Amino acid sequence: MTTHTVKAREPTVLHGQSHYVLRPEDLLIGFKVDTAHVVPGDIDIDRFNEALAKTLQANPIHAGRVVRPRNPKDSWTVSLGNQGVPVIVMESDAETEVPANTIIQNPFTFTQPVKYMKYLDFNNDEPLLKATIIRFRKTGSTSIGLSSSHLIGDGFVVLAFLRLLSQHYQGLEPLDPPLSYTAPPRYPFNAADYDDIPCQDYKYLYPLRGVPPHAEPGRQKPVRVDIRLQAEQITQLHKGVLAQCPEPSPPILSRQDVLAALIAYCLSKTDPEAPPIQHISNVVMTRGIPPRSKNSAGNAIMWAVTKAAEDFDKETIFSIALRIRESLIQCRDPAYAAAYDAAHEPLAIQAINAELAQDFVQRPGYMVVNSTWRFDWTSAHFGFPGQTRFYHTILDEPQFLKMFHPNPTRLPDGSWEARPKDDIEIVFYIHKELQVAFMDFFTRQVRNLGMSGDVEWVPAQ
């Protein structure tokens, strides 16, 4: 194993600034974003490091270090001292890169993770980003893994960083406009109009220096469910759910609305002893909601939480999907988004200064959907288009869903087969005793909705 320290090429886009101020929405200190891109060939380390230096020039906070304020009234910042990003190069004799070609890998073995607890210490030198290159000697493949602190950005930022890194590695022009590090101005709103902002994401907290609730010793671990659906099947399900609308002209519902509602409905019916899932939180981006730019850096996310049904016994998949759509429409209102930020900012500041992290283990009646189905993760292909596989992580607790476009498949003859653009891979965890009942009920439901073909239940490792 060898380690290189790569610094941003100077001058950076933040030249002249000594620090970058983290906004309250950025203070997700207890989380990281781990990704890996596996390509069927070699990665030249010198060329990779040069590409990384250029990418850091446009994103210098990734090469900085967290500065915790000694006065809790002051802001958390990132020092722009260009301390650099470690690039760890390793070799593996594994027979295959992954046990199963699912997006989610658990355990995730492609990265040397950032140690976010060190950010709590004054004068820490823990990187905000680490890169790990693994050469698989027996397969000839190489993985490019990134472990990124959530303090410096969400999945959108990680993908933008990777796409720029991939383009620089190939000697090509950027695919995207540069990320904007300018804080958006405040948007005016009347607080009296928004007195019921949901703050479910800060309702449960745990000590950062302790063991996360989902990792407590002796906790019964659930099992994985991975579902793949074809584009045509999704269209059929969408049509079948819209047919449940009691009105002659159904409203506009997205396919993701329908799929999330279908999963929630089936989970509720599978476990009649538990409270039905009433509150579905979609993690949505606020980029493009005035006054925020479409390419804003940092964490531009909020939770769109559905209101409870008036009578769950009368709920249909359509009515659940409609409540999801209504919560998403509400979030696109600039005044609501501003009120949401105002309600969450003091909670975020209080939590980080008290060394507390958000506990995203879902309580009975709640579910989270964190989808990047529309993210073209494998567009960061480092010169291997159509042959790059993407891998990621998930909270391994029930009622926390992620959605992706499936990876391409390597065929026995060495050629590659891509999945159609609108195919989907859905993954979540469920209590073991409910798994078979859920699979049976889900299969019956999709048949009733008019879906043809079989459900592809993907064996997870």
pLDDT at 460: 55
Cβ atoms 352, 25 nearer than 8 A: no
| Tens of each residue's pLDDT in the chain, 461 residues | 999 999 999 999 999 999 999 999 999 999 999 999 999 999 999 999 999 999 999 999 999 999 999 999 999 999 999 999 999 999 999 999 999 889 999 999 999 999 999 999 998 999 999 999 999 999 999 999 999 999 999 999 999 999 999 999 999 999 999 999 999 999 999 999 998 899 989 999 999 999 999 989 988 899 999 999 999 999 999 999 999 999 999 999 999 999 999 999 999 999 989 999 999 999 999 999 999 999 999 999 999 999 999 888 899 999 999 999 999 999 999 999 999 999 999 999 999 999 999 999 999 999 999 999 999 999 999 999 999 999 999 999 999 999 999 999 999 998 999 999 999 999 999 999 999 999 999 999 999 999 999 999 998 54
Backbone dihedral region for residue 97 (phi beyond 0: left; psi -120 to 50: alpha; all else: beta) = alpha
Q: Which residues contact 459 (CB under 8 A, 6 or more apart)?
A: 100, 226
**pTM for the whole structure:** 0.97
pLDDT at 461: 45
Cβ atoms 2, 327 nearer than 8 A: no
Q: Which one-letter amino acid corresponds to residue 106?
A: N
Which residue segments constitute the domains of the chain, with CATH numbers given? Answer: 2-170 (3.30.559.10), 218-373+395-457 (3.30.559.10)
Cβ atoms 162, 145 nearer than 8 A: no
Please report how the helices 255-270 and 435-448 are oriented relative to each other, as an axis angle in degrees rounded to 10: 130
Cβ atoms 195, 340 nearer than 8 A: no
Long-range pairs of 417-422 with CB within 8 A, sequence gap ≥ 24: 418/386, 420/230, 420/231, 421/231, 422/231, 422/234, 422/255
Taking alpha carbons only, the member of 158, 135, 154 closest to residue 146 is 158
